[in-house]
């Protein structure tokens, strides 16, 4: 089992939105960074833990716990001409972009970015590293356990 931090802009999909979706599940669409895509396509497995992170908002931070509920499959939006996630180089026979489905485990209190920065135990967490802008990053099992304990 692996652990991941996955960023979502709450204006697009928030933890509350996820809680209201059918089966409390969302397809993690729109990733257009090759490294983040490769994490989903090549490394994520059903049951992997996810820290659901609100980004690009007034108070960014971890808003809930989720899990990967499907293996990677082609992102349908890459094929829709005119859509902001359309990729004219992608075809159904040769897709370029993939996503997984993510299912809510539980909503938590917000563990803010500011609060995480004040915890020396999380010094190696990728989201706290200077210059990191990836929307999906692996989380070390020790960091996962530490964060879960902070969210109790």
Structure tokens at 67: 């899990």
Q: For residues 44, 47, 49 and 54, what is the CA-based torsion angle, rounded to 10 degrees?
A: 80
Q: Which domains does the chain have, with CATH numbers?
A: 3-137 (3.10.590.10)
Task: List the strands of the sheet with 3-8, edge to edge.
Answer: 25-27, 101-112, 61-68, 49-54, 3-8, 136-138
133: pLDDT confidence band, cut at 50, 70 and 90? confident
Amino acid 131: pLDDT: 85
Q: Kindly state the average pLDDT of the residues 47-51.
A: 98
**E runs forming strands in 1-144:** 3-8, 25-27, 49-54, 61-68, 73-74, 98-99, 101-112, 136-138
Each residue's pLDDT tens digit, 55-103: 999 999 999 999 999 999 999 999 999 999 999 999 999 999 999 999 9
Q: Residues with Cβ < 8 Å from 71, sequence gap 6 or more? A: 44, 45, 46, 100
Amino acid 110: pLDDT: 97
């Amino acid at each position: 089992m692996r652990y991941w931090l996955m960023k979502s802009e709450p204006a697009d999909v928030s933890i509350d939105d996820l809680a209201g979706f059918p089966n409390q599940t969302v397809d993690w669409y729109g990733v257009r960074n090759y490294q983040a895509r490769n994490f989903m396509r090549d490394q994520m497995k059903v049951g992997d833990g996810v820290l659901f992170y609100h980004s690009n908002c007034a108070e960014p931070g971890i808003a809930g716990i989720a899990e990967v509920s499907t293996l990677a499959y082609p992102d349908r939006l890459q094929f829709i001409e005119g859509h902001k996630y359309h990729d004219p180089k992608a075809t159904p026979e040769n897709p370029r972009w993939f996503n997984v489905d993510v299912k809510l485990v539980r909503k938590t209190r917000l563990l803010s970015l500011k609060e995480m920065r004040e915890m020396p135990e999380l010094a190696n967490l990728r989201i706290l590293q200077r210059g990191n802008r990836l929307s999906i990053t692996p989380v070390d099992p020790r960091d996962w356990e530490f964060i879960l304990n902070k969210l109790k």
